[in-house]
Amino acid sequence: MSDADFVDADLVDAARAVLDRAYVPYSDYRVGAALLTADGTVYTGCNIENANYSNSLHAEEVAIAEAVKAGHEAFERIAVSSGVRDGVTPCGMCRQTLAEFCDDDLAVLCDEGDAVTEYTLGELLPNTISLDTLDAAEGTTE
Ligand code: THU
Ligand code: ZN
């Protein structure tokens, strides 16, 4: 196993390890995420649902919030796992949240149980809106 594979397997394991913490009384669909920072720290998150469904937090958002709160804004890769190992990918909202901090080449590792499918954020969310978009529009009128 190469070093890169070892890191990926570790990150997928970290995403699986937090599945137990998911609070999912409504969907019963557990999601875990593990985010690797540029300095090698791993932050994890799980989904936390709410009786007002739209208040539910997604695993990726929780991981990003934990990492940013701790002072990190540069990320290498993220692993996402569901309790049923179905290769879940981050939803559109989470892709956009990742794009706030990560470049198109961020690796997104999706757990399929006996395999991991790797995407780039750019594949999952091309043409994202970003700070650059807003800077470029500054001073223009419609
Ligand atoms: N979920 C996540 O945690 N991350 C995603 O990006 C996809 C969806 C959660 C939200 C909800 O608690 C459950 O999965 C079913 O949609
Ligand atoms: Zn999401």
pLDDT in tens, 5-40: 667 999 999 999 999 999 999 999 999 999 999 999
Is 103 within a domain? yes
Is 15 within a domain? yes
Is 47 within a domain? yes
Is 56 within a domain? yes
Is 3 within a domain? no
Is 93 within a domain? yes
pLDDT in tens, 44-86: 999 999 999 999 999 999 999 999 999 999 999 999 999 999 9
Report the CATH number at residue 52.
3.40.140.10
Is 110 within a domain? yes
Q: What is the pLDDT of residue 139?
A: 86
Which residue puts its alpha carbon closest to atom 13 of ligand 1?
29
Domain that holds residue 129: 8-139
Distances, alpha carbon 10 to alpha carbons 4, 7, 29, 135, in Å: 10, 5, 22, 38
Measured N-to-C along each axis, helices 59-69 and 92-101 cross at an angle, to the nearest 10 degrees, of 20
Which residue puts its alpha carbon closest to atom 1 of ligand 1?
58
Which residue puts its alpha carbon closest to atom 3 of ligand 1?
58
Q: How many angstroms separate the CA atoms of 106 and 67, rounded?
A: 16
- Long-range Cβ contact pairs of 1-9 (< 8 A, separation 24 or more): 7/36, 7/77, 8/77, 8/79, 8/109, 8/116, 8/118, 9/116
Number of domains in the chain: 1
Active site residue 60: yes
Is 1 within a domain? no
Mean pLDDT, residues 105-119: 97
> H-type helices in the chain, by residue range?
3-17, 59-69, 92-101, 121-124, 131-137
Q: How many angstroms separate the CA atoms of 25 and 121, rounded?
A: 30
Instruction: State percent of the chain over pLDDT 90.
Output: 88
Q: Is 48 in the pocket of ligand 1 (CB under 6 A)?
A: no
* Residue 10 CB coordination number (10 Å): 14
Per-residue DSSP letter, 40: S
Q: What is the pLDDT of residue 4?
A: 57
Number of residues that this document lists for the chain: 142
Q: Among the options 49, 60, 66, 76, which is catalytic?
A: 60
* DSSP 3-state of 93: helix
pTM, two decimal places: 0.93
